[in-house]
Amino acid sequence: MARRSQTALFIMLALGALAGCSKFQRAERPAWRARAEAACFAERRVALSNYVQPAAHEIDGPSICGLTRPLKVTALQGGAVQFNATQTLDCSMVAELESWLAEVVQPAAQARFGQPVAEIDSMGSYNCRGMNNQIGARLSEHSFGNALDVGGFRLADGRIITLVHDWTRGDPQTQAFLRDVHSGACGHFATVLSPGSNMFHYNHIHLDLAMHGMTSTGPRRICKPAPQMTEPPSLKEGPHKDNLPEAPEIDDDLDIAQVGAPRGASAYAMHSGPDLALAAATIAAADTSRRVSPNGPPAPPRRSAQTGPMALHAPAAAETPSPPARGAMREDGVFVPEGAPTDFDLPTSRFR
């Protein structure tokens, strides 16, 4: 009887030791993750809404995977940017995605396409797995809801932009948009991996807020491939934001002296000139009134002594009429004071 009791006691002690050892060696989630979640909510960096809701339960495991306060997200920017499916993310990731959309994605879409992004095509958020889906690899930030894979975007007019096609085969504006989105993400997230970074990211942009350590200028960031400078939006390839016509091509200066007479009735001057027909009728009327005098036409009325441009518009002075001048009136209405009209004609016909 005593021997059985000793055996049972030994078994109980052995089991207790194994249980204690297992509890002592069990991996724990890094404490900074729970602190980051708590700080994000305390600072109210994310506003709960119909599109951003807390999950019903904490996610704990398997292993150290999970989130203390997970969020279920169906849209960002107050519902303006939808997700193709509900995403499970932590508070910090939701807040940074909101900032990235407002400061990078939407301005780039407006500049390149004249319209905003209406939907994000996500290829994954929370998922307890190894990096790059490799068995035995270090746990991915997806295992903590601290990452999002973006496969493409849908614009407000329904146009679809995908990383797998448009990163290298899209039109110039679309390729530039994706480069702008990638480059801008490098200032918001700790890790940005896009097509060209490695074989696992040929069809999406991976974004996360991992802790890579500190440097003299702040947290260490990983951004691959290196951000590229893009050409500014082209009005010829993109939309006209102000609906104004394109500027005409600039031609070389023209020698006006070599330009012929305008063709057709559609050629107009910038300013209208004097009505020559009306001027001729006025001269003819004045000529008729002068010929009424039996002694020939009277001399033109004398103006005041005023000089300068205003003299042309000064009223005639009230003076005693001069004796009629001798001479003759040419056919063109010009009064010749002495001699015959032909005596004063120039030999060339240029001025006749």
**64 pLDDT more than 60:** yes
CATH code, residues 28-224: 3.30.1380
Strands of 198-302 (E only): list them: 205-208, 214-215, 218-219, 222-224
Backbone angles phi, psi at 110, to 5 degrees: -65, -40
The structure's pTM equals 0.61
**55 pLDDT more than 90:** yes
Q: Where are the domains of the chain?
A: 28-224
- Identify which has the larger pLDDT, 308 or 62: 62
The span from the CA of 25 to the CA of 9, in Å, is 24
Q: Residues 111-144: pLDDT tens digits?
A: 999 999 999 999 999 999 999 888 888 999 999 9
Q: Residues 214-225: pLDDT tens digits?
A: 888 888 999 999
Query: What burial letters (b/e) apply to 338-347, b meaning 16+ CB within 10 Å?
Result: eeeeeeeeee
- Identify which has the larger pLDDT, 235 or 72: 72
- Identify which has the larger pLDDT, 335 or 226: 226
- Identify which has the larger pLDDT, 201 or 346: 201
**309 pLDDT more than 70:** no
Beta bridge partners of 76: 81
Q: Are 38 and 1 in contact (CB under 8 A)?
A: no
The span from the CA of 154 to the CA of 116, in Å, is 9
Distances (CA, A) of 264 to 260, 267, 274, 277: 12, 6, 21, 21
By C-alpha distance, which of 174, 269, 293, 285 is closest to 231?
174
Average confidence score pLDDT of the chain: 78
Residue 51 makes CB contacts below 8 A (sequence gap 6+) with: 73, 74, 75, 76, 78, 79
By C-alpha distance, which of 198, 73, 94 is closest to 146?
94
Q: Residues 181-201: pLDDT tens digits?
A: 999 999 999 999 999 999 999
**32 pLDDT more than 50:** yes
